[in-house]
Amino acid sequence: MRYRYPLLLLLVTVVWGLTFPVLKVATAQLSGVETTALRFVIAAACMGPFLRGIPVSAWRDGLLLGVLALASMVAQAYGLQFISANRSAFLTSLNVLMVPLIGLFLGSRPAWAVFFAAVLACVGVGLMSFDVQGDFWADLATLAAALAYAAYTILMSARAKHHAPAQLAAAQIACMALLGAAWMFADSGAQRLLLLPGLVDAEVWWGLLYLGAIASAATFFLQALAQSHVSAAQAAIIFAMEPVFAAAFGWWYINEQMTPLALLGGVLVIAAVILSQRADSASA
């Protein structure tokens, strides 16, 4: 089926949409580093059966991908301590424009319609976040997260085809868990870490389980599988649906509201995704 792999990425995007309100709740009790580290320790435990027999090349690419993803997610979680889940999702999705621009500098030549779709998606994102209050440093951290994830998307599309999806996902997650745990220990200190079980309530622990098992272990595998068949520019525009799902889940889970202007922005993002898929099919 021609749309099998884009649909897999769309499923990944739905799962990621729910992470924003879940992270918003978690970062009310944990720092961005703690949230991200615990998330990937859980994910690494889920990927344990796939850690045996991973070749050195997969560990090398997994480490590089893991560093980019970890930096992106810590910066995103930091920003969520100060801005709404909706705004974070909208700013993060600006990687949809960063991906083709970085690709252009690296020598790729996406179809003109992909650039148009990226711009259309960014206009939609702008409308969705126009009237949502921001915070300068949180916004800046979230934009840095978007840039790191744009680089991650490009590298994933380039390297995923060279590895078994489960091995690449397991290598990434193991590296992120080790680096994240070391970062958490250095940032929080042993005394706070010993007190964490009593400081964090059940809702946050269930949220961390979702973030680790579903939104990390499962989606990293599906992303590695799908992006061995989908270009970085096309994948980025599919990921632009993330703020649409994040806004819907934010309304459902933590009662964040959307204005008519934001709804119009969501329609433009959906239109951009459809256009990107048509452009990719026409060039195939």
Please report the pLDDT score of residue 129 as a whole number.
64
Beta-carbon contacts of residue 101 (< 8 Å; ≥ 6 apart)? none
Rounded to whole angstroms, how far apart are CA atoms 282 and 111? 10
Beta-carbon contacts of residue 142 (< 8 Å; ≥ 6 apart)? 75, 76, 79, 83, 87, 88, 91, 92
Cα 131 to Cα 14, 86, 109, 260: the distances in Å are 24, 11, 35, 11
Please report the pLDDT score of residue 205 as a whole number.
94
Digitized pLDDT (tens) for each residue of the chain, 284 residues in all: 567 888 999 999 999 888 888 988 898 899 989 999 999 999 999 999 999 899 999 999 999 999 999 999 889 889 888 887 777 877 787 777 788 778 777 777 767 777 787 788 778 777 766 655 667 888 889 889 989 988 998 898 889 889 999 999 999 999 999 999 999 999 999 889 988 888 889 999 999 999 999 999 999 899 888 888 888 877 877 887 777 787 788 777 777 766 788 778 777 877 776 776 566 555 54
Please report the pLDDT score of residue 133 as a whole number.
62
Please report the pLDDT score of residue 275 as a whole number.
74
| Phi-psi label, residue 83: left if phi above 0, alpha if psi -120 to 50, beta otherwise | beta
Please report the pLDDT score of residue 245 as a whole number.
84
What value, to the nearest 5°, has the Cα angle with vertex 146 and ends 113 and 226?
A: 60
